[in-house]
């Protein structure tokens, strides 16, 4: 499978799963019991805040595909100094909040699959970044992948 085909598959899977979580949530809008509505809303809001910070830092290099943009600079500032894939973190948080709202086994399965897809996408993207930018090796060894400060990734530079 070519890199372009793999990128398209991962992006399609990501948006399909996020959409499926949303559809399950829509089916549960009329549910009389939403015990964690505030927490779900805060999780979704946190996800959007992370996405906004990531978008702001990544603007010159932004694209949906995990394939690095032609001629783009390597970004390791802003939120990217704490986590290599904050866009994926934001999507996970939004999906988590929506899945919580749906409160359905199906929505949680979709969220779990979304996390797996985004992990594959992040790993694929990391490899492409190492091929394109020599500084990516050092950055990746000192910066958390998706969740800040996990698995010893908060080492000093």
Task: List pLDDT tens digits, range 66-113.
Answer: 999 888 999 999 999 999 999 999 999 999 999 999 888 999 999 999
Q: Any residues with CB less than 8 A from the CB of 107 and at least 6 apart, and which?
A: 21, 24, 25, 98, 99
DSSP E strand boundaries for the chain: none
Q: Kindly tell me the burial class for residue 111, based on how many C-beta atoms sit within 10 Å of its own C-beta (0-12, 13-18, 19 or more).
A: buried
Q: What is the mean pLDDT of residues 13-35?
A: 88
The structural domains of the chain, with segments of one domain joined by +, span 13-26+34-142
Rounded to whole angstroms, the Cα distance separating 143 from 140 reads 5
Instruction: Please answer whether residues 133 and 59 qualify as being in contact, where contact means their C-beta atoms are separated by less than 8 angstroms.
Output: no
Q: What is the pLDDT of residue 157?
A: 45
What is the Cβ-side half-sphere exposure of residue 123, based on CA atoms within 13 angstroms? Answer: 7
Q: Is the pLDDT of residue 150 over 70?
A: no
Lowest mean pLDDT among 59-63, 143-147, 152-156: 152-156
Overall pTM > 0.75: yes
């Amino acid at each position: 499978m070519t890199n372009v085909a793999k990128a398209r598959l991962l992006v399609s899977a990501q948006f399909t799963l996020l959409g499926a979580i949303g559809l399950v949530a829509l089916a549960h809008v009329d549910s009389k019991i939403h015990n964690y509505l505030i927490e779900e809303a805060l999780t979704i809001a946190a996800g959007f805040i992370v996405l906004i910070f990531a978008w702001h830092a990544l603007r010159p290099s932004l694209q949906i595909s995990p394939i690095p943009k032609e001629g783009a600079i390597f970004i390791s500032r802003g939120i990217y100094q704490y986590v290599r894939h904050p866009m994926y973190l934001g999507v996970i948080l939004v999906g988590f909040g929506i899945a919580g709202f749906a409160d359905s086994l199906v929505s949680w399965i979709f969220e779990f699959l979304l996390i797996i897809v985004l992990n594959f996408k992040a790993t694929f993207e990391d490899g492409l970044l190492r091929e394109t930018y020599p500084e990516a090796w050092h950055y990746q060894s000192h910066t958390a992948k998706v969740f800040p400060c996990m698995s010893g990734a908060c080492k000093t530079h």
